Amino acid sequence: MKRIKLILVAAAAMGLLNVSAFAKPAPALVFKNNAELQDDIDKGSTVMFVFVHPDDEVFVSGTIALVGGDKTSSCYICCLGSLDNVRREKIDVPSRLKAIRWITKKYLKDYIFLDNNFTTLTPKIINVIKPKLKEVIEEKKPDILITFAPSGYDGNVNHRLTSKIVTDIYPTLSYAPKLYFLINVDQELNFKAREYRKYPPTDAIDLNVHSEKLGKKLWDEKLEIWENYSDSTPIIMGVMARKERLDKNDQKEYFRKMK
């Protein structure tokens, strides 16, 4: 028996044995959906999404369509960076501007840039951003704040730091908006991070539901937003190239209520 174990270990080390074949499959995503976020949106809440890049909204575009399509709700996006960040990445700036203007006109009360230029959020830049972001939140007084989970949705360091900036500011606000983390379970985007295991969702927005307010399914709205961003957002460009697979995707967006 001992010899057999040694042979198996050696085979695995040499890549001759597919160890993953013996691994347990990932657990199904099971959680109790309290639907509080959906209820708050239906009641006419003001929602502010806080992101770092001027295209992060693609991760939550179905929920943006839900909030922005409700005439009793107000939807803001606050971007910590600026379009100079896009120019630095050598992305098609006119196409990105066109997409931002389109989503703003169709769904948003305002798309707010804090106009900070950076590649990575350094401590010095974070100290500049925090009072700016707090001022915007205090001025707009959103009922709900939504940002990345501490793991950053896809592990991006600036996403993780954005989450920390928001959670650091939160206790200093003059009022207490509800705080939600956006949780990544999107298999189609092919992220290796499975942050829902560390931050189990509490709420889901079902994008496969027909919306009388919009006249079509939220999933169709999300695809339309992705289409508008596909020319200037490489990851969405790749997803739209596999469009025939999208109908098999889990057509929900997941959140975790923190406060």
- pLDDT, tens only, 125-154: 999 999 999 999 999 999 999 999 998 887
pLDDT of residue 72: 77
Q: How confident is the model at residue 34 (pLDDT cuts 50, 70, 90)?
A: low
pTM: 0.82
Residue 45 predicted with pLDDT over 70? yes
Q: Identify whether the C-beta of residue 166 lies closer than 8 Å to the C-beta of residue 182.
A: no
Residue 98 predicted with pLDDT over 80? yes
- pLDDT, tens only, 163-215: 999 999 999 999 999 999 998 876 555 555 566 677 888 898 988 876 666 66
Q: Report percent pLDDT > 70 for the chain.
A: 76
Question: What is the average per-residue pLDDT within 113-131?
Answer: 89
Q: How confident is the model at residue 92 (pLDDT cuts 50, 70, 90)?
A: confident
Residue 7 predicted with pLDDT over 70? no
Structure tokens at 62: 């179905």
Q: How confident is the model at residue 13 (pLDDT cuts 50, 70, 90)?
A: very low
- pLDDT, tens only, 47-73: 999 999 999 999 999 999 999 987 778
CATH topology of domain 35-257: Rossmann fold (3.40.50)
The domain limits of the chain are 35-257
Q: Identify whether the C-beta of residue 48 lies closer than 8 Å to the C-beta of residue 79.
A: no
Bridge-based pairing of strands 252-257 and 178-183 is antiparallel
| SS3 per-residue string spanning the chain | CHHHHHHHHHHHHCCCCCHHHHCCCCCCCCCCCCCHHHHHHHCCCEEEEEECCCCHHHHHHHHHHHHHCCCCCEEEEEECCCHHHHHHCCCCHHHHHHHHHHHHHHHCCEEEECCCCCCCCCHHHHHHHHHHHHHHHHHHCCCEEEEECCCCCCCCHHHHHHHHHHHHHHHHCCCCCEEEEEECCCCCCCCCCCHHHCCCCCEEEECCCEECCCCEEHHHHHHHHHHHHCCCCHHHHHHHHCHHHHHHCCCEEEEEECC
Q: Chain-wide mean pLDDT for the chain?
A: 81
Amino acid at position 181, single letter: F
Residue 110 predicted with pLDDT over 60? yes
pLDDT of residue 108: 95
